[in-house]
Chains A and B, each alone.
Chain A
Amino acid sequence: MNNSLSEKLSELKADFADSADLTVRVVTLKSVRNIRAAIVTIEGMCDKEQLSQSVINPLMPYDFGMLDGEQAAQRILSSVTASSDVTTFYTKQELITYITSGFAAVIVDGAETMLAAGVQGYSFRGVSEPESEVVQRGSREGFTEPLRVNMSLIRRRIKNPDLVFEQASVGGESRTQIMLCYLQSRTSPKLLGKLRKRLERCDLDSVLASGYLSEYLEDGKTSRLFSGVGISERPDTVCGKLTEGRIAVIVDGTPAVIIVPRLFVEEFQGVDDYSNRTYYAAFIRLTKYLSFFAAVFLPGLYVALAQFHPEYFPTMILIKTSESLAQTPLPVTLEVLAITFVYEIMKEAGLRIPKSLGHAVGIVGALVIGESAVNAGIISSSTLMVVATAAICSYVTSPLYPPVTMLRFIYIVIGGLCGLWGITLAAAVMIISMCSKTSLGVPYMSSLAPFSLRTMRDVFVRADWKTLSKHVIRVQKFKETEAESVE
């Protein structure tokens, strides 16, 4: 950029097309040469009081004497500003990045050096407990939207210089700031290199949520059911993962932090497991695994048994199920499919409906659609019970909800067409698909397949802390990890 203040400002205004939120305050500094300076900010991005106290108030009365523009800029940096976060820069690109991030840029006429003072003060949602990851015994803090606040939430928990935040930006138009966060001594450099390359490949125009990036971080096709990219809104969860050698990607403007690599068994681990007694944690884990199987297979198995093998039902259940099914007009497969589909519609409606109407929708769903349909003989009560149980079970492992829902539909259709045999074959295909998946080179089914006895102490059961602390799990140490082969 040219050193002339007026040219710099006109260039900047042209770039912003005289946008209403671009604020430029031109002042004349107290000096022999009457040097002019400009303080450039974006309206609403900085704290005006802080701007006055740390930049404008110290700048105006200061006597710069005989200093020229460049010397004045250096003096402002060294002796004038009261801001704790002041940095120098030289290019227009940097100027735009700083002011759009809430910094106040100080441009001195005739100086090549420009200054950015950290006076960010935009309004944002406070730190609160994430609704999707509620815990009984643990921190109530959750990530929020600003990147720096999220960084501080992690730093407060890991007070160790080993924790590194590496800045990058993605999105051609949005230039969203992201922060790679990892523990230097525990993360594989190869894994890190792989992640950086994938982020470089991101050619999106705008990145408005972490979900945009997660598809770029997946190994292989993104059309697969299960995701190898984890998301968490809890700083304690992220810190726990960092200590295992994983990498977190914080995206500015979203509370959902990406964690890679992500393994299947992690979906069944919760923060509470590590606070509860070991036997109870083990019980909860097993309950979660059972719920996952029930959510995926229960409606399909019910259809297969009712249609092809009713003799497998215990006699009393067989009598009641047969009676109930005999009164309904639809075949059992269609009935289960229809109820599952209606349930998904109601769930979607419930998510988007205003809270005040939520109860009314619940009553309509439960009483009108459910009870009335059973009384009218349109659907059978046993079918309704099976679908409802599967639906509740699917929320036990909520991150797996999308694949579980899809699989449930698939197994209902297969169970209706091919019975138990079809379900067996489909399950084999599902397991093969899951076993072939990797997350940043780490096998997705690690701990189970490839089997590792050492890591099993935190899979189906949770060993006590004395045992867990003896051998720290590091993700790159899992068997058959491709940490040594960077793409």
Chain B
Amino acid sequence: MNKLRFSSKRFLLTLMLCACSVILLQNKDLSPNASFSFNIICMLCGLSVCFLLFVPSLIIKRRTGLDFLTVARVKTPSLRLPTAVFYSLYLIFTAEFFLLPYTDMFAKKYYSGVTPCAVALLLVLTCVYAAVKGVNVITRFGIFLFGFAFVTNALMFGGSLGSLDFSLYGFELSGGSGDFWRDSLYFVTPAFIAVLYACLSGATENFRLRQPVFALIFTGVKFALVLFFIFFSLGDYAGKQEYPTFTLSRAARLGSFGGIESFYLALATMSVFMIISLILCAATKSVKRESDVKYVAVFAAIIFSAHICGTYIDSVKEIFTSTGLFVILTAAAALVPLGYVFTGRKSNARKALRNTDMP
């Protein structure tokens, strides 16, 4: 694939779509005692933390125009192996964090009786194809996905308007400190896009600080809308079931037109497809400078193997789908670039990277 730099705006649009997939695959992670308003406050806190986790890689991008992995490779060649190992493992963990709930939802809610591993295998294979084509092509795909997401959300929300039932309870701030931490932690999960940004931002240009801010704002709006309709359209009981967004799409009807869950499933599939493709690109980038089909295939095989373990061994599945662990690892992965922010001044960083070829 060509090594042309592409628009930073488009990359952040793609990352925003990835972040929104958290709410698409949302399961029982939100506290059952928390009200809608309480969740919105938690969401604002969570997304603020997400932005803070973005900051180190944004500074590196602004100073050098490169991604964190390239900067780390140039500035600390001796730490190349540990960095590669840590980021590879983190990215595989992230892939599982999305793939396992997706296949689980697929098998439980959509095609009952299908083997989750077969679904994962086909999905990962298609992701290999996308990852080999490169980040630029995946972000181009993101434009089409954005259009499709717009239509799907319009159908989902439009179809739920008829069943809206406002209860005053939803607007009350009900929830304890435990609920606050639990829900805020859940809303920090989109921070994985900060790590993806740190790994892949070297291929973009025209970076502006407002771009990640807008990406997180739009993610927040999408989260708020989904929560609003889950709370006031589905009702308290249905909202607390597994995969309430799926339930919302299934319950939505536009006159006699139903079946919006098929749109939802297509959107979720494409979102997970895009996340895993980007993860494969980032994982390859962590061990090798350029995209290589062999490395992509190896990482895909590891992700699939981990998925088999996660499907058949409950304890492994619990680890892979643990929100707390995911957030801790994400924070660690997003904050590692902070060390490189403080180790050199702006001019030194530019000097060190002057002779570095573009990723």
| Interface, chain A (partner B; CB < 8 A) | 308-309, 311-312, 314, 418-422, 424-425, 428-429, 431-433, 435-436, 438, 443, 445, 448-451, 479-480, 482, 485
Contact = CB atoms under 8 A, between A and B. Distances in A.
A126 to B, nearest CB: 45
Interface residues of B, number: 33
A347 to B, nearest CB: 30
B259 A449 contact: no
B143 A312 contact: no
Contacts of A424: 265-266, 269-270
Interface string B105-134: 010001100000001001100100110011
A428 B6 contact: no
A420 B138 CA distance: 22
Contacts of B347: none
B98 to A, nearest CB: 15
Given A450-B6, A480-B4, A425 B126 contact: yes
B266 A314 contact: no
A435 B265 contact: no
Nearest to B273: A428
A125 B119 CA distance: 58
A422 B114 CA distance: 13
B137 A436 contact: yes
A451 B10 contact: yes
B343 interface: no
Contact of A420 (B1, B4, B262): B262
A482 B6 CA distance: 12
A482 B1 CA distance: 12
A421 B110 contact: yes
A309 B262 contact: yes
B1 to A, nearest CB: 7
A431 B111 contact: no
Contacts of A443: 140
Those 9 A-B pairs whose CB atoms lie nearest each other, nearest first: A449-B140, A435-B140, A312-B259, A424-B266, A436-B137, A436-B133, A449-B143, A432-B130, A424-B269
A205 to B, nearest CB: 33
Contact of B265 (A418, A420, A479, A485): A420
A428 B277 CA distance: 11
Q: Interface majority SS on B: helix, strand, loop or mixed? A: helix
Contacts, number: 81
Contacts of A485: 2
B256 interface: yes
Contacts of A433: 133
Contact of B140 (A309, A420, A445): A445
Contact of A312 (B133, B258, B269): B258
Given A428-B130, A431-B144, A449-B141, 14 more contacts: A419-B111, A421-B111, A421-B119, A425-B269, A428-B126, A428-B270, A429-B129, A432-B129, A436-B133, A436-B134, A445-B140, A448-B143, A449-B140, A479-B7
B259 A311 contact: yes
Interface string B181-210: 000000000000000000000000000000
Nearest to B262: A420
Interface of B: 1-2, 4, 6-7, 10, 106, 110-111, 119, 122-123, 126, 129-130, 133-134, 136-138, 140-141, 143-144, 256, 258-259, 262, 265-266, 269-270, 273
A448 B259 CA distance: 28
B262 A432 contact: no
Nearest to B123: A425
Nearest to B4: A480
Contacts of A482: 2, 4
A419 B7 CA distance: 35
A419 B6 CA distance: 35
Given A428-B130, A431-B144, A451-B143, A420 B266 contact: yes
A312 B265 CA distance: 14
A451 B269 CA distance: 23
A429 B126 contact: yes
B138 to A, nearest CB: 7
Contacts of A429: 126, 129-130
B251 to A, nearest CB: 14
A429 B133 CA distance: 11
A480 B7 CA distance: 9
B265 A421 contact: yes
Nearest to A482: B2
Contact of B10 (A420, A422, A436, A450): A450
- The interface centre, meaning the residue of A425, A429, A445 with most chain B CB atoms within 10 A of its CB, is A425
A188 B2 CA distance: 19
Contacts of A431: 141, 144
A470 to B, nearest CB: 24
A81 to B, nearest CB: 54
A80 B239 CA distance: 98
Given A312-B259, A425-B269, A432 B133 contact: yes
B277 to A, nearest CB: 8
A40 B13 CA distance: 69
Contacts of A420: 262, 265-266
A374 to B, nearest CB: 28
Contact of A425 (B122, B136, B137, B256): B122
Contacts of B6: 450, 480
B47 to A, nearest CB: 25
Contacts of B106: 421
Contact of B7 (A312, A435, A450): A450
A443 B134 CA distance: 14
A421 B269 CA distance: 8
B262 A428 contact: no
Contacts of A419: 111
**Of residues B7, B141, B143, which shows the largest number of chain A Cβ atoms within 10 Å of its Cβ?**
B141
